[in-house]
């Protein structure tokens, strides 16, 4: 095979990867619109407590701050893991993705305990419009986090088995985009639902 053909093949491969990443970016943008509709629902319903408790009574700022710091650190560590991927340092990358996973799991655990605490005190999604909006918005974010955690676990297995193949690097790049995006959505949940709720 002449070197020109090789160059062209290499360029095709690169163009293919760019296309996949752009497609994934488009998915994330549509997810933004999904979250926008849930934020809009929450904004409209947040005062409709139907005689039940409102945000100020239910949420604890320090608890939410801990959740936020866990997720933010997780997003940061995920970025460092991607740097290790670009340097092709396998042990380092796997260790950092594992830390990302642990922090994300701790976040999800806290969210789960918050939800079960609310439900056990009779403040479930059925209590009021405000709580329906709250559970749908924060629950959808939590569902995304769960999917992200499964994805990280799957990628750890793939990395251990195959190492930095073209496909694995592409998947890891998409995974990191997804994980950073979830932290971006959380900024707004933290501000609009929790901080503006308890002020």
Partner 1 sequence: MASYVVGFVLSLATTLTAYFMVTKHWLSGNGLVLTLLSLAVGQFVVQLLFFLHIGRETRPRWKMLMLVLALVFVLIVVLGSIWIMYNLNYRMSPMEMEKYMQRQDGGI
User: Using CB under 8 A as the criterion, which residues of the chain lie in contact with partner 1 when the complex forms?
Assistant: 22, 25-26, 29-30, 32-33, 36-37, 39-41, 43-44, 50-51, 61-62, 65, 68-69, 72-73, 75-76, 79-80, 83, 177, 180-181, 183-184, 187-188, 190-192, 195-196, 198-199
**Shortest spacing between CB 17 and partner 1, in angstroms:** 14
**Shortest spacing between CB 43 and partner 1, in angstroms:** 5
123: tokens are 């403040």
**Shortest spacing between CB 87 and partner 1, in angstroms:** 10
Closest to 156 measured CA to CA, from 175, 142, 141, 143 = 175
**Shortest spacing between CB 173 and partner 1, in angstroms:** 11
Say how far apart CA 173 and CA 86 lie, in whole Å: 10
Nearer to partner 1, 73 or 158 (CB): 73
- Are the beta carbons of 105 and 149 closer than 8 angstroms? yes
Q: Interior CA angle at 183 toward 180 and 187, to 5°?
A: 140
Task: Count other Cβ atoms within 10 Å, centred on residue 144.
Answer: 19
């Amino acid at each position: 095979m002449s070197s020109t053909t090789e160059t062209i093949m290499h360029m095709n491969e690169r163009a293919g990867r760019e296309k996949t990443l752009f497609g994934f970016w488009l998915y994330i943008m549509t997810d933004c619109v999904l979250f926008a509709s849930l934020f809009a629902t929450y904004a409209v319903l947040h005062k409709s407590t139907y005689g039940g408790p409102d945000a100020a009574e239910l949420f604890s700022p320090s608890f939410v701050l801990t959740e936020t710091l866990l997720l933010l650190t997780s997003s940061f560590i995920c970025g460092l893991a991607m740097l290790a991927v670009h340097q092709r340092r396998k042990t380092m990358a796997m260790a950092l993705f594992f830390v990302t996973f642990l922090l994300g799991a701790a976040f999800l655990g806290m969210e789960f305990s918050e939800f079960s605490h609310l439900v056990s005190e009779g403040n479930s999604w059925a209590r009021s419009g405000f709580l329906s909006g709250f559970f749908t918005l924060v629950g959808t974010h939590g569902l995304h986090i769960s999917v992200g955690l499964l994805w990280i676990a799957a990628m750890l297995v793939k990395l251990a088995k195959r190492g930095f193949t073209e496909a694995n690097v592409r998947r890891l790049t998409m995974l990191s985009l997804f994980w950073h995006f979830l932290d971006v959505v959380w900024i707004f949940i933290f501000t609009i639902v929790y901080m503006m709720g308890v002020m």
